[in-house]
Chain A
Amino acid sequence: NAGVTQTPKFQVLKTGQSMTLQCAQDMNHNSMYWYRQDPGMGLRLIYYSASEGTTDKGEVPNGYNVSRLNKREFSLRLESAAPSQTSVYFCASSDSGTAGYTFGSGTRLTVV
């Protein structure tokens, strides 16, 4: 049982480049989330999808877009990467807002 799978695990981008982080879950969860984690800041919510077909902004959405492709997949896109977006990105899923999260293993992104 894979749980939450994120790709890629590592990525280096030049300022201004674009890329999409992929996330897929196989637990039939309704809700999916994208977080970024920076030293001393904890996990901060970028975007979330409470159910298939819906997406909403989180705490730090600027510079990002998301797509809930189907119930399994939730992608995060950086249209024009900036050094401030250097971070570790985690995708998570849950059955509901009060249920526990299952996290992916993260994508370490560096923007130079």
Chain B
Amino acid sequence: KNQVEQSPQSLIILEGKNCTLQCNYTVSPFSNLRWYKQDTGRGPVSLTIMTFSENTKSNGRYTATLDADTKQSSLHITASQLSDSASYICVVSARGGSYIPTFGRGTSLIVHP
């Protein structure tokens, strides 16, 4: 069964600090991995996408990494801001006709001033 596990479940950091969120998956055969950001009361918004051949992708202060061999991804947030407070969701898609990606349960990040 395809699964996506995220850790930690929740995280509290001080403004200006860096943090790293983890995503482990068992989805096969792998197509791509996306990180979404979901602000409170809003729908998720895509941050990054990585395919099998990519091992790092940046979007401003967000940098995602992918290790397809170990089936792990991380999302690193640099110099955190209060607006980074949100839930971050890892989503993995399989190749070969599946229309349904597998969602992780998300990591809730709170940035304190």
- Is B103 part of the binding interface, using a Cβ–Cβ cutoff of 8 Å? yes
CB-nearest residue of chain A relative to B4?
A42
- Is A103 part of the binding interface, using a Cβ–Cβ cutoff of 8 Å? yes
CB-nearest residue of chain A relative to B49?
A100
Q: Is there contact, CB below 8 Å, between B43 and A90? A: yes
Task: List residues of chain B with CB within 8 A of the CB of A100.
Answer: 34, 46, 49
Size range of the chain B interface in the assembly? 20 to 34
> Which of A31, A43, A45 is B89 in contact with, Cβ under 8 Å?
A43
- Is A105 part of the binding interface, using a Cβ–Cβ cutoff of 8 Å? yes
Task: List residues of chain A with CB within 8 A of the CB of B49.
Answer: 100
Distance to closest chain B CB from A26 (angstroms): 15
Q: Is there contact, CB below 8 Å, between A42 and B106? A: yes
- Is A74 part of the binding interface, using a Cβ–Cβ cutoff of 8 Å? no
Interface of B is mostly: loop
> Which of A40, A42, A48, A98 is B93 in contact with, Cβ under 8 Å?
A98
CB-nearest residue of chain B relative to A108?
B41
**A53-112 interface with B by 8 A CB criterion:** 58, 90, 92, 96-98, 100-101, 103-106
CB-nearest residue of chain B relative to A92?
B43
Q: Please, how many angstroms separate the alpha-carbon atoms of A48 and B44 in the complex? A: 17
Q: Please, how many angstroms separate the alpha-carbon atoms of A106 and B104 in the complex? A: 19
CB-nearest residue of chain B relative to A9?
B41
Distance to closest chain A CB from B98 (angstroms): 6
Q: Is there contact, CB below 8 Å, between A98 and B31? A: yes
Q: Is there contact, CB below 8 Å, between A50 and B99? A: yes
**B65-113 interface with A by 8 A CB criterion:** 89, 91, 93, 95, 97-101, 103-106
- List B residues at the A interface (Cβ < 8 Å): 31-32, 34, 36, 41-46, 49, 89, 91, 93, 95, 97-101, 103-106
- List A residues at the B interface (Cβ < 8 Å): 4, 31, 40-43, 45, 48, 50, 58, 90, 92, 96-98, 100-101, 103-106
Closest 5 CB pairs of A and B: A103-B43, A97-B99, A42-B105, A98-B93, A100-B46
A-B contact pairs, 13 of them (CB 8 A): A43-B44, A43-B103, A90-B43, A97-B97, A97-B101, A98-B93, A100-B46, A101-B36, A101-B44, A101-B101, A105-B41, A105-B42, A106-B43
